Amino acid sequence: MSEKIDLSKFEKKMIIRNIEHRDIDEIINLQENCFKGMEPWKKEQLVSHLDHFPDGQICAEFDGEIIGSCSSLIVNFDEYDDKHTWDDITDEGYITNHNPDGYNLYGIEVMVHPEYRGMKIGNRLYEARKDLARRYNLKSIIIGGRIPNFHKHSEELSPREYVQQVMLHKIYDPVLSFQLMNGFTLMRINPNYLPDDFQSNQYATLMEWNNIDYIGKTKQQYKTAFPVRICVVQYEMRKIDSFEEFAKQVEYYTDVASDAGSDFAVFPEIFTTQLMSFLDEKSPSKAIQRVTEFTEDYIQLFTDLAVRYNVNIIGGSHFVEEEDKIYNIAYLFRRDGTIEKQYKLHITPNERKWWGISRGDKVRVFDTDCGRIAIQICYDIEFPELARIASDQGAKIIFTPFCTEDRQGYLRVRYCAQARAVENQIYTVIAGTVGNLPQTENMDIQYAQSAIFAPSDFEFARDGIVGECSPNLEMVVIGDVDLEVLRRQRQSGTVRQLKDRRHDIYKINYKQ
C-alpha cells in the first residue's frame, strides 16, 4: 500500500501583506527589475513610507519571495492642481504630505516582477488597495498611470488619440488596459508627470476608481480648523522643604492648564532639581544622585495629574539613573495614562563637568490625541538635523523644555526654536525656569522667557509668536496653534520649505 502523499512539498504560498522594514532592499531590487532605465526607490523614501502610512504599503509574497508591490498615500485631491506631477503628489517620493484625514487614496506605484506576470498579481494588489479604501472609508482611489507603449505610436498619434485607441481596445497598453479592466475611469492626461518615464514620453493618465461603499462624513469636505491649546509654565525655582511641596506647585499649574481647556501643559527642563534645595548635599554630582531617587515619585505624580486633570503633560525633564548612568529624560504623560520618554541627545559641557550626564541616541516622535509631537530638550533644539528628522516622521509640534542661567544661553534656545519653526513649517514651544536656588551648587540662577512659535507666513501669528511670557517672572502663557492651517500652508504657503527641499543634492542620514 503506497504512503500518503505529502502535500506540503507541493505548496507554494501566495500572501498579500503589508511591507515591513526588512523588505526594503528586496523592494528596491524588484523595482530595478520592473522598470529598467528608471531611477529606483531610495531606501530613505521607503522608510518614510512606512513611517507615514504603513497600511498603504502592500506587497505580494510568493513562496517567500516578494514578486509585486504597491504604494499609496491619502490626500485631499481637490487641494492639488489637476496638472500635478508625481513629485508634487508624493513630496518627491517621501509622502510626508500624507493626510490621515483626507478623502482619496492616491496610488503612486504598482509593480510585478516580469517573471511572474500573468499570475494576476496586479489584480490582487489592486483588490488590496480597494479593500484599504473601503476600510478607511475613502471616497475614491486615484492613480497617475504610465502609458508605456505610447512611444511606439507617438509619431502618428497624440497622447489623447493613443489613450482613446487603448480604450477602444484597438491598441494594448500593459498599464492603461489593465487599469480600465479594474474599473478605473479616465479623468485627464497629465504631461511631464515622471521625468524619467521615456516610454510614456513623460505623459500619465489620471485615473479614478469610486468607492460605492463610501459614507460621506460631512457635507463640508474640509476641516476649517484643528486647534490645539498649549499652556506653557514658566516655573520659578524657589526653596522648598519636601517633595510634597513640589507636588503641590506642580498640581497648581496643571489645574491652571486644565481650567483653560489646554491640550498640553509644558514644564521646563530639570525643574526637579528644585528638590536639591532640601536635600542638603553640597556636591553637585551627589546631589543629582539624590534627585534620581525621586524618579518613581515624579512619574507617579505626573501620571496621576495627566489623567485626573485630563491634559497631556510634557513633564519638563528629570535626571534618571539607568544601568549606572544618569540621563536627562523628558517624559510625555498622556491624559489616557500612557507614558513616553525622550532622552537628551546632546549634553552641554556644563552637564558633563558638574553632573556626568550620559547621552541618549534616538530621535523619537510620539502620537497623541492632538497629532504627532516631538520633544527636544534645551541644547537639542540647537541642532537643526534633529528637528528635520522629527518633522519627516510627522511631528507637527516640537516641545523644548529648557534651563538656562543667562540671557545669552536663553537666546540660543529661542532663536534656534524660531528657526526650526520656519525651516520645518511646524510649531515650536519653549518652557524655561526662572528664580534662583542660592544654596544649590550649579543651579543658583535662571533666565527665561517661555514662548510658543509658529512659521512665518500670513496665516500665522504676527512675528511668528503665538504667545510669550514676560522675562524672568513666574507665570504661564496659553495659546492656540492650528494644525489644519499648518497642513494647508505646507501645501500652498508663500514658501514651502518642506516641499522645496533639494533631495537630489543633499539629505540627512539618520542612523537608527
CATH number of the domain that residue 338 is part of: 3.60.110.10
In order, the DSSP letters of 2-71 are PPPP-GGGT---EEEEE--GGGHHHHHHHHHHHSTTSPPPPHHHHHHHHHH-GGGEEEEEETTEEEEEEE
The whole-number pLDDT of residue 437 equals 81
Cell numbers 490582487 correspond to 124
Q: Is the pTM of this model over 0.85?
A: no
pLDDT band at residue 392 under the 50/70/90 scheme: confident
Does 205 share its domain with 273?
Answer: no
Q: With 60 as the cut, is the pLDDT of residue 7 above it?
A: no
Contacts (Cβ under 8 Å, ≥6 apart) of 116: 62, 67, 68
* pLDDT at residue 126, rounded to an integer: 93
Tell me what percent of the residues of the chain surpass a pLDDT of 90: 67
Q: Would you state the cell numbers that stand for residue 46, as one nine-digit string?
A: 521607503
In-domain check, residue 271: yes
Domain's final residue, options 180, 210, 240: 210
Burial (0-12, 13-18, 19+ Cβ within 10 Å), 203:
buried
Rounded distance between C-alpha atoms, residue 141 and residue 150, angstroms = 24
Q: Is 275 domain-assigned?
A: yes
What are the tens digits of pLDDT across the range 219-267?
444 556 789 999 999 999 999 999 999 999 999 999 999 999 999 999 9
221 lies in a domain?
A: no
User: Which three cell numbers mark 127?
Assistant: 483588490
Cβ-Cβ contacts under 8 Å for 413 (sequence gap 6 or more): 378, 381, 382, 400, 402, 404, 430, 432
pLDDT tens track for 299-338: 999 999 999 999 999 999 999 999 989 999 999 999 999 9
**Per-residue model confidence (pLDDT) at position 12:** 63
CA dist 129 → 9, 154, 235 (Å): 31, 32, 51
Q: What is the mean pLDDT of residues 38-59?
A: 92
Which of 210, 235, 260 represents a domain boundary (last residue)? 210
- Residue-level pLDDT at 220: 46
pLDDT for position 193:
86
283 confidence band (pLDDT: 50, 70, 90): confident
- Return the pLDDT at 461: 87
310 and 414 part of one domain: yes
Same domain, 123 and 232: no
- Asked if 242 and 276 sit in the same domain, the reply is yes
The chain-wide mean pLDDT, for the chain, equals 90
Query: Which helix (H) or strand (E) is 126 found in, with range?
Result: helix 121-135
Q: Provide the grid cell at 209.
A: 476608481
Residue 165 located in a structural domain = yes
- Please spell the DSSP secondary structure of 174-220, one letter per residue: TTHHHHHHTT-EEEEEESSS-TT-TTTTT-EEEEEEE-TT---S-SS
My answer on whether 163 and 258 are in the same domain is no
Choice between 168 and 3, residue whose per-residue pLDDT is larger: 168
DSSP state of 277: G
Q: What is the DSSP string of 370-391?
A: TEEEEE--GGGGG-HHHHHHHH
* 501, part of any domain: no
Q: What is the pLDDT of residue 263?
A: 96
- What is the distance in angstroms between the CA of the first residue and the CA of the last residue of the chain? 59
Note whether 145 and 241 are same-domain residues: no
250 and 351 co-located in one domain: yes
Return the closest-CA partner of residue 330 out of 261, 384, 278, 403: 403
Residues 19 and 148 in one domain: yes
For residue 442, name the pLDDT band (cuts at 50, 70, 90): low
SS3 320: strand
Domain count within the chain = 2
Is 1 a residue whose pLDDT tops 60?
no
Q: Is the pLDDT confidence value at 441 over 70?
A: no
How far apart, in whole angstroms, are the C-alpha atoms of residue 133 and residue 209?
10
Helix (H) or strand (E) holding 351: helix 349-355
**pLDDT of 74-114, one tens digit each?**
998 888 877 788 888 898 889 988 998 899 999 999 999 99
| Residue positions annotated with a catalytic role | 269, 344, 378
Q: Is residue 291 part of a domain?
A: yes
Determine the Cα–Cα distance for residues 163 and 145; give it in Å rounded to an integer: 11
**Chosen domain end from 176, 210, 244:** 210
DSSP 423-462: HHT-EEEEEEEEEB-TTSTT-SB-B---EEE--SSTTS-G
Q: What is the pLDDT of residue 8?
A: 60
454 has a pLDDT exceeding 90: yes
pLDDT on residue 40? 86
Collapsed DSSP state (helix, strand, coil) of residue 494:
coil
Pair 201, 260 in one domain = no
**Residue 510 falls within a domain, yes or no?**
no
Q: Are residue 174 and residue 292 in the same domain, yes or no?
A: no
**What does the pLDDT read at residue 86?**
87
Q: Is the pLDDT of residue 65 over 80?
A: yes
Q: Which three cell numbers stand for residue 169?
A: 481596445
- What is the span of the domain harbouring residue 389? 227-492
Q: Are residues 162 and 250 in the same domain?
A: no
CATH, residue 153 = 3.40.630.30
In a domain, 29, yes or no: yes
Lowest mean pLDDT among 173-177, 398-402, 466-470: 173-177
Give the 3-state secondary structure of residue 280. Answer: coil
Same domain, 236 and 206: no
Residue 288, pLDDT above cutoff 90: no
How much is the pLDDT for 219? 45
Across the range 419-432, mean pLDDT stands at: 97
Hey, what long-range contacts does 93-96 have (CB within 8 A, 24 or more apart)? 93/41, 93/42, 93/45, 93/503, 94/44, 94/45, 94/48, 94/49, 94/392, 94/503, 95/48, 95/49, 95/52, 95/53, 95/71, 96/48, 96/52, 96/391, 96/392, 96/394, 96/498
Q: What is the pLDDT of residues 197-217, one digit of tens each?
A: 888 998 989 999 999 999 886
β-partners of residue 57 are 71
Confidence of residue 9 (pLDDT cuts 50, 70, 90): low
